[in-house]
Amino acid sequence: MITLSVDYYNPISQKTYDEVISKLQFHQLVCSCGHSGCLTIHAYYYRHVMSGDSKERLRICRVKCAICGHTHALLLSILVPYSQIPLSAHVEIVSRHIENKSFSSIMESNPSIDENNIRYIIRQYLRYWKQMLLSESILLKPPLSLFVKRCFEAFSRQFMQIKRTPNIFFP
């Protein structure tokens, strides 16, 4: 997959996603094989992202490398791969856990996130990410764009991406 850096962390919508993709210079994207200028739109798939009290259905673009044949999903940096919960909610949940604060404001502002989602995120953070962040002295603090960049520099993954699927950051 290829994660595209965006500076805003508003609730995601199809319109926002499409605007970023339409402005993208595909010839600048680099495939995991190391070649650039070889990626073309191949297909689309749908995924859901929790937004407010509903799930937003997004049509995600996939690109294919003409050299190696690999396909890559184009994700925005406000998304966590393989998760329906946006990055900002992940960061807020983990931050509240670290500070030993209540999660009620998160669930009130985003009713689609419940106690089970919060427990799962905290468990995954403790299991996979806590020591990694500590080892690189990466702090969970704004701006999120810098935090995302540091996670990619250190781990070649988006924060809270659990699967080790190759993920290329495109600033």
Tell how many helices (H) and how many strands (E) occur in the chain: 6, 5
Question: What pLDDT does residue 10 have?
Answer: 65
Q: What is the pTM of this model?
A: 0.91
Question: What pLDDT does residue 64 have?
Answer: 96
Question: What pLDDT does residue 9 have?
Answer: 59
Collect the ranges in the chain with pLDDT lower than 50: none
- DSSP letter for each residue of 120-136: HHHHHIIIIIHHHHHHT
Ranges of H-type helices in 2-86: 14-23
Tokens of 86: 């946006």
Distance CA 150, CA 146 (A): 6
